[in-house]
Amino acid sequence: MYDLTVIIPTFKEESNIGTIIESVDAVFSRNSITGEILIVDDNSPDRTIEQVRELQKTKPHLSLVVRTDDPGLSQSVVEGFRRARSDIFLVMDADLSHPPALLPVMLAEIRAGNDLVIGSRYMEGGGIKKWPLKRRIISMGATFLGRLLFPEIHDPVSGFFAVKRSVVEHAPLRPRGYKILLEVLGKGTWQKAKEIPFEFVDRATGSSKLGGRTIIEYAEQVIDNARFSWNHHECIVWQEWVKLFRFGAVGLSGIIVNEGVLIYLKGYVQFSLPVASIIAIELSIMSNFILNDTWTFKTEQQHAMPHWWQRLLSFQVVSIGGAAINFIILNALAAFAGIDYRIANLLGILVAFAWNFWVNRRVTWKKSE
């Protein structure tokens, strides 16, 4: 049995296939990994297949699947999942964009208990070398859409990832297009994911197959995964929506606290308006904090901020930021854009709400690594 299976989908990679196989092999021997290399080719018309067959003569751990119908990158990777002869799968491109040197690190992270390990371009330490602006924009758009579904993952559309067999074995994957990782995240059975930064290097040789169709397919895939999460309440995406909903409900309750305290202090205790209002705002922030800490984000067991007062402080600062955003948007839209102040305020509240949720999710109630 192998330690892991490196799955490499290929289409017309005659200029890269030899190099990638040799580099993966070198990493295997340098790190004493008993690995399998599985090439899944869509019947390339060039010399890719012949080259693999030639290398197979000296490499018993090199396997080849040649597919003849339903061509596609994602379909090929899923075929690789089915054919792999180990319990850990690692997917990477053939064109040397993904550094084989990271294989042992990713393997170690899976062995350390992660279900998924993602080579990430969009986090600190990661990046993309030599990409034209158009590709960067398309990729950023795709990543943004993907992150709506998986806010915690920096690069949910990376083509470089390792995954346990159990994550995908029974998952109802509907592979299509280029972004198989999104499908695995959306439909796989996983709890713990870890990202490792890497620098994506644009292919030096061979040709790109990215076309206009891939963008449409991707949009369909995002919608399909959103629907799936709606139907399967236990999945990660759904849990995220639940948090958003609860955070909103808590915000509404804060309005009631704020208004109630204000009416009481101003009307009955006869405090001056500024004093009454500051106390009312502060108390509503406090009650929002308590509800969010014990209800909205109660499933976050190990917080990056372990002490409640750290979270309170963070929540307080974020709330002040949200109030400032609300204030600026309301006044700017009303004064300079001539928008009715009531509409302007609603827009301000909406943006402030998004800010509050986003930043608190990422900072105050962030899970510790």
Ligand X SMILES: Nc1nc2c(ncn2[C@@H]2O[C@H](COP(=O)(O)OP(=O)(O)OP(=O)(O)O)[C@@H](O)[C@H]2O)c(=O)[nH]1
- When asked if residue 156 is in the footprint of ligand X (CB under 6 A), the reply is no
- When asked if residue 95 is in the footprint of ligand X (CB under 6 A), the reply is yes
Nearest approach in angstroms of CB 335 to ligand X is 46
* End-to-end Cα distance, the chain: 31
- When asked if residue 203 is in the footprint of ligand X (CB under 6 A), the reply is yes
How far out from the chain centre does Cα 194 lie?
10
Looking from the CA of 330 toward its CB, the CA atoms found within 13 Å total 14
Q: Nearest to Mg ion by Cβ — which residue?
A: 95
- When asked if residue 97 is in the footprint of Mg ion (CB under 5 A), the reply is yes
**Mask of contacts with Mg ion, 301-340, x by CB under 5 A?**
----------------------------------------
**Mask of contacts with Mg ion, 212-251, x by CB under 5 A?**
----------------------------------------
Residue 285 contacts residue 320 (beta carbons within 8 Å): no
Contact partner at residue 254 from Mg ion, ligand X, none, CB < 5 to 8 Å by partner kind: none
Contacting Mg ion (CB under 5 A), which of 42, 95, 109, 293? 95
Of 333-352, which residues contact ligand X (CB under 6 A)?
none
Of 220-279, which residues contact ligand X (CB under 6 A)?
none
Contact partner at residue 136 from ligand X, Mg ion, none, CB < 5 to 8 Å by partner kind: none
Contacting ligand X (CB under 6 A), which of 2, 11, 81, 198? 11
- When asked if residue 146 is in the footprint of ligand X (CB under 6 A), the reply is no
Contacting ligand X (CB under 6 A), which of 13, 36, 155, 293? 13
- When asked if residue 357 is in the footprint of ligand X (CB under 6 A), the reply is no
Stretch that binds ligand X, among 25-33, 90-98, 272-280, 326-334 (CB under 6 A): 90-98
Stretch that binds Mg ion, among 112-120, 197-205, 281-289, 357-365 (CB under 5 A): 197-205
Nearest approach in angstroms of CB 356 to ligand X is 36
Count of residues near Mg ion by CB under 5 A: 4
* Interacting residues toward Mg ion by CB under 5 A: 93, 95, 97, 203
Chain contacts with ligand X (rule: CB under 6 A):
9-11, 13, 40-42, 71-73, 76, 93-95, 97, 159, 203, 208-210
